[in-house]
Structure 1
Amino acid sequence: MDDHLRTGRSEGTVGKALDALDLVCAQDRPVRFSELLPLSPWPKGTLYRLLQTLVKQGMLHVEPETGSYTPGLRLVQLAHSAWRKSSLAPIARPHLDALSGKVGETIHLAQLDRGQVLYVEKRNARHPLPMFSEAGKVGPGYCTGVGKAMLAHLPDRERCAALQLQAFHPHTAQTITSAEELEIELAKVREEGIAFDREEHEPGIVCVAAPILSPTGRVLGGLSVTTSTARRPLEDLATLAPLLRETAEMIAEDAADWQFPG
């Protein structure tokens, strides 16, 4: 659960309602009130009122027979609108297709969301691999190649704030577990223009990643090619860096007139 849900720090009714919506959406199945209550920072009456408000607004649906909550159709409509207007995915689609056809490995397109990686599009490898990432999922910034590619190119103040939001949980023996160590890594990323995931998030999964930058150097997103060590060593994957940078530059060029969400 996110820290703001554990502590109940969100202010106002709207903030609390959004936190309650996050709580339902974080579950991978329909969830009953009795299951949500131990996870929430609010008393029973407050949580019930928040959920009922969300149901009335169409943001949540409650199954009459079971009382289970699921995301509502209005939320689906809003998500689709956000994907079209605030996501790089529609702009990047032809370039992702072309890159996927050339390399035959998994392609990820991502944007930064409060210091974390929001996967907005994915192309599976010719022979798909099981892995964490899916379009719409949020992953860590500090231990993914695409996350490090984006974090490295943030302005100093923004990068410092983003690093404070990292969990630094040791997912594998290779995971970077401190802000100081990550800053050293990000300096290398800025120098080389490329980032790597060296089995830092998932055992056996490696990637090479590049930032998508506006002409002024603003971080628009990140792009990565991912595979497994059983199929392709990291050294071999690194040879795709020039093609990855070229694709990122083409996406940035096509996004020149895009009103990037702040």
Structure 2
Amino acid sequence: MAASPQQHGVQSIEVGMQVLTAIERGRGPMPLSRIAVESGLAPSKAHRYLVSLQRTGLVSQEVGTGLYNLGPAARRLGVEALRRVDEVATASPYAAALRDRTGHTVYLAVWTDTGPSLVRQDHGYHPLPLLIRVGSILPITDSSIGHAFMAFLPEPVTRPILLAQQERKETSLRSADELARALDEVRGTRLASVHGSVVAGLNVVSTPVFGPGGTVELVIGVAMPARVDDEQDLARIHAELLATSRAISAELGHTEPA
């Protein structure tokens, strides 16, 4: 449970976190002057905090340049924090909240060695022509979830699955140019949409969720009856989906590039 603003804390720890956050956002070694600006502190005060953070190992200073960077203790904490993250458990409350805000069914999917697999389904308030069961492997070229994974995962990861599904006739054959154009569009908007290609009368829009370093951890999608075609409604759903993806990504440790 997060601490409420009314609870008493240790202010110096909170200020120290401002300094660490400034270094983290710098994406590399930083001079004192820039750390002071980014953390909103006077240079003399920022320097005092940097000295203490060096003593704990959370910050290190390069001998030749004098630049500051995250230290070995920060790296150990980061690795351990990542080890403890359960991506699906982290995303699940956000998926349920997205269902409540939109009224539509929300899916979570992960990448497996046989393709995109549904791991969670929050049923919406609108009846769908068919519900896709949790555990199902989705056709990679016919599903919006498959498109979201293909657009943002490395091709050496997705191509063997694509070829295997096509060989088993589990997904459609599409020309390389057609598929490339579709994936470029997904990369530009971060939204992948399909209309009735997996289940007739069912439209799904999906977007990736990123972890540290920009890796795709999972995909979240909203399923709607085909009759939901009002442009304003769709724009609102798309905005809610993207905002949810960004919130989950931030909690998983992803930092959006400036």
Q: What TM bracket, shorter-length normalisation?
A: 0.5 to 0.7
Cα deviation for residue 127 of structure 1 reads: 3.1
User: Which digits, 9 at most, give the CA deviation of each residue in 1:188-230, with x for residues without a partner?
Assistant: 1112211001211111110111011124221101011111113
What does residue range 192-211 of structure 1 map to in structure 2 within 5 Å? 192-211=189-208
Q: Distance in 2 between matches of 1:209 and 1:149?
A: 7
TM-score with structure 2 setting the length: 0.58
Counterpart code for 2:160: A
- Tell me the residue number matched to 2:110: 111
Aligned CA distance change for structure 1 residues 125 and 164 (closer, same or farther; 3 Å)? same
Report the more deviating stretch, 124-133 or 189-198: 124-133
1:207 maps to a residue whose letter is V
Does residue 182 of the first structure (1) align with residue 146 of the second (2)? no
Report the Cα distance in structure 1 between the residues aligned to 2:169 and 2:225, rounded to whole angstroms.
Answer: 19
**Percent identity over the alignment?**
25
Gaps of 5+ in 1: 1-84, 258-262
Give the 3 Å change call, closer, same or farther, for CA 115–170 of structure 1 in structure 2.
closer
Root-mean-square deviation (CA, aligned residues, Å) is 2.7
* CA deviation vs aligned residue, 1:1-32 (integer Å, no higher than 9, x gap): xxxxxxxxxxxxxxxxxxxxxxxxxxxxxxxx
**1:31 maps to which residue?**
none
Superposition deviation, residue 184 in structure 1 = 2.4
Secondary structure of the residue aligned to 1:224 is strand
Q: Cα gap change, 1:191/1:115 in structure 2, threshold over 3 Å: closer, same or farther?
A: farther
Q: Tell me the distance in 2 between the aligned counterparts of 1:179 and 1:168.
A: 15
* Structure 2 equivalent of residue 191 of structure 1: 188
CA spacing shift, 1:169–1:154, aligned 2, 3 Å: same
Q: Name 1:121's counterpart in structure 2.
A: 120
Alignment-derived partner of residue 51 in structure 1: none
Q: Aligned residue for 1:163?
A: 162
1:234 Cα shift? 7.5
Query: Is there any run of 5+ residues in structure 2 with no aligned partner, and where?
Result: 1-83
1:229 aligns with 226
Aligned to 2:27: none
CA separation of 1:195/1:210 partners in 2, compared to 1, >3 Å: closer, same or farther? same
1:249–1:165 distance in 2 versus 1, CA, 3 Å: farther
Q: Please tell me whether the aligned partners of residues 207 and 234 of structure 1 are also in contact (alpha carbons under 8 angstroms).
A: no
How far apart, CA to CA, are the structure 2 residues paired with 1:168 and 1:237? 35
Count of aligned residue pairs for this structure pair:
169
Q: Secondary structure at the match of 2:119?
A: strand
CA contact (8 A) 2:129 2:201 kept: no
User: Please, what TM-score do these two structures have when normalized by structure 1?
Assistant: 0.57
- Between the aligned partners of 1:169 and 1:183, the Cα distance in structure 2 is 22
Higher helix share: 2
Letter in 1 for 2:193: F
Cα offsets for 1:107-152 (capped at 9, x unmatched): 0010111252211111111133242412222222211111211111
